[in-house]
Amino acid sequence: MQLEPIVSFSILLAVILIVPLCFERLKLPGLLGLLVAGVVLGPNALNVLHNDSETMKLLSGIGLVYLLFVAGLEIDLDQFRETKHRSAGFGFFTFAVPLAMGVLVGRLFGFDWNSSFLIGSLFASHTLLAYPIVSRLGLVNNEAITVTIGATIFTDIGSLLVLAICVGINQGDFNILSLVRLLLALLIYSTLVLVGFNWLGKEFFRRSGDEEGNQFLFVLLVVFVAALGAELIGVEKIVGAFLAGLAVNSVVGEGPVKEKILFVGNVLFVPIFFVNIGLLIDLPAFIQSGGTIGLTLAIVLGLIISKFLAALLAKLVYRYSWLEGITMWSLSLPQVAATLAAAFVGFREGMLTEDVLNSVIVLMLVTATLGPILTSWAAERLTPIGETDVETTGSALSFDSELQQPTIVVPVYNPNTQRYLIQMAALIAGHAHGKVIPLAVTPSHVHMDAPELDQAIERSHTLLSEVTSLGQATGHEQETDVPIEPLLRIDDDVAMGISRTSREQQATLIVMGWSRTDGFKARLFGSLIDRVLWSAHCPVAITRLMQPPTEIRRILVPIETPTEAAWQSIRFAALLAQGNQAEITLLHVANPRVPAQRLAWVKSRLEALVSRTNLPSPPEIRIQRAEDVVGTIAQASRAYDLVVLRTPRRRHNGFGELTLGSMTVPIVQQINCAIVMLGEPQYKPFRVPGRPSRASSALGLARSSTV
């Protein structure tokens, strides 16, 4: 019996590791795999795991708290502040209308008023699963979208407030005095958490400096203290977790501590919570019950219709276009984090039946699929606004003036495989009066006088000597004087050694060779490229070269959305073109149903970007309509020597894993010529001087793709 928790935990780890990976290979969401695994291993099937075991109670309870904490942490407060009044208006619409619809559904199916209002609270919130889509299409400046993002804070707080009141009423005798007492306690508690923990967090982070471990522990302590405080005043602990996320939102920012928080939760605790939800599902009873199917249809259709009515009200009141209204509807449609957590709490408290819980899971799967599809359809037809003149203004800037005397770091491992990397770095640095730093990172040893460390250092010195000779020869071949400054670093982590050295040397670019990142080992620990992409302060060029860079004459740059983020790829291609007198083609592959107005906008933006390169032979602009984006780019690449792709700094594929983009990898697999995948800086994206940047983030349950 003593081994039972260990056995259960081992099974859970195996499920989390293997099942999502199998489902993703079948082009199905990994989240669905966890729910299915819970059903199969649960008491209604194989009877291997039980939701009433101490292991499941503890781990799924932590996952539930973590889920709502991350929901609060991921809310973009900057977006909310920009349009807080209209966000409040749409937040009220998309909260009140679905709430009323949920109450109506509950009453129609025989639930009492308290349970009906709880069902209404499930309708009221939403999860911004499709945010990466509008961000990728350059639409984050559209007011309708900004308003929808800001409304999230109102819907989540409102739905959790209703949940707290319903649970409080369910647990004791209800009267007006007890309701006033509960609301007053909530007000005082919320103020203490939002103001107190925010101030305490800023003080702790200021005093702790770069002690990321202590900062991580502090944030965890805040989460569970807030959750405990919520239970002490008689409300559900997930309310406290969500408020804690809001409180430390600005404190944590987008730094490495937030990455660690998301990683731990999304890799371990949140998946266990979803497995536990699967344990509660009685699939045979759900299929056999005709009443359950009716309730499920009512919940799903009621949610979809009510969210549409709320978006329609906002469209009419704020005079948005139909496309903007549909985009607001689709963005507010998905029900995942807060909805599932509240449904689980209601079921645990005996206020909601198993039929409702099963229906909410169906609702989650339907809306999580339908919402992004509708968002993609509507957003592709919207013309981005707010950045019309940015590139025109920037076109007066000298291209060379933006990258004077670059410092390029080239991590080296084997001189035979690093030759082309050094040549590429020399090409870029040589025409901008920069320098190349070949870097060898030697893994540290607990004893600095260990013979193994001496041997490793000697091998690194030999490697650097060979690479330096290669780089100097490359410089003479190009008739340029490229300073080669080899550097040896001893570090306990190779990836962090590369990133730290690049920061210390104020590197402009890191050039690395391509390696596989989709294997089993990479899934467990992350590849070297993943970790450098995550931690580096500057762009990272991940290269797969088939020939000497000096022989590159035609360069293809696929551009999905011609915003400022695309400028990095164009600038990189232009630097190579300067050294080789190469020709550049910018390729935009558009959906055949995209209206001509948006294509005209794309062309004008591309022309503005092209004007900034100041090359003797301006890049060619090519716009092509096609359904198969990946196949079209692969087909076009056959006529080119090099393809330059953007790859996102990070992608949450369901549980926070750091991997390359979901469209980038298929493209790479089909391209036979040389490739450079340019990873962008995470915290300091390139922008025109004088123009503020806009941070973007994606929820852990979102899937995004970037070319």
Q: Which helix (H) or strand (E) holds 511?
A: strand 509-513
Within 13 Å, how many C-alpha atoms sit on residue 81's CB side? 5
Q: What is the pLDDT of residues 268-288, one digit of tens each?
A: 888 898 888 888 877 776 666
Ranking 88-102, 312-326, 610-624, 653-667 by mean pLDDT, the lowest is 653-667
pLDDT for residue 583 is more than 60? yes
Nearest Cα to 254, choosing from 642, 701, 681? 681
Q: What is the pLDDT of residues 496-552, one digit of tens each?
A: 899 999 999 989 899 988 755 444 444 434 467 877 887 888 889 988 888 888 889
**In residues, how long is the chain?**
707
Give the whole-angstrom CA distance, residue 299 versus residue 364. 11
Give the whole-angstrom CA distance, residue 35 versus residue 278. 4
Which phi and psi (to 5°) does residue 390 adopt?
-65, -50
Domains parsed from the chain with CATH numbers: 55-274+291-379 (1.20.1530.20)
Q: What is the pLDDT of residues 463-497, one digit of tens each?
A: 888 777 765 555 444 445 678 888 999 988 888 89
Mean pLDDT along residues 354-383: 85
For residue 518, the model assigns a pLDDT of 47
Question: CB–CB of 194/249 below 8 Å?
Answer: no
Within 13 Å, how many C-alpha atoms sit on residue 681's CB side? 19
Q: Is 136 exposed, middle or buried (0-12, 13-18, 19+ CB in 10 A)?
A: buried
| Residue carrying structure tokens 């400096």 | 209
Of the spans 256-270, 422-436, 540-554, which averages the highest pLDDT? 540-554
Mean pLDDT along residues 603-611: 87
Stated pTM of the model:
0.67
Two tokens, residue 460 = 């690194």
Provide the CA 213 distance to its chain's centre, in angstroms. Answer: 22
* pLDDT over 90, % of the chain: 19
Give the whole-angstrom CA distance, residue 407 versus residue 480. 15
Residue 681 — pLDDT band, cuts 50, 70, 90?
low
Nearest Cα to 226, choosing from 242, 215, 205? 242
What is the chain's alpha carbon radius of gyration, rounded to the nearest angstrom? Answer: 27
Give the whole-angstrom CA distance, residue 634 versus residue 625. 14
Q: Which helix (H) or strand (E) holds 435?
A: strand 435-443
Q: What are the C-alpha distances in Å from 55 to residues 61, 69, 200, 276? A: 10, 21, 33, 11
Give the whole-angstrom CA distance, residue 87 versus residue 82. 9
474: left (phi over 0), alpha (psi -120 to 50) or beta: alpha
Give the whole-angstrom CA distance, residue 360 versus residue 343. 7
Q: What is the pLDDT of residues 38-53, one digit of tens each?
A: 889 988 888 888 888 8
Question: CB–CB of 215/204 below 8 Å?
Answer: yes
Nearest Cα to 587, choosing from 548, 525, 638? 638
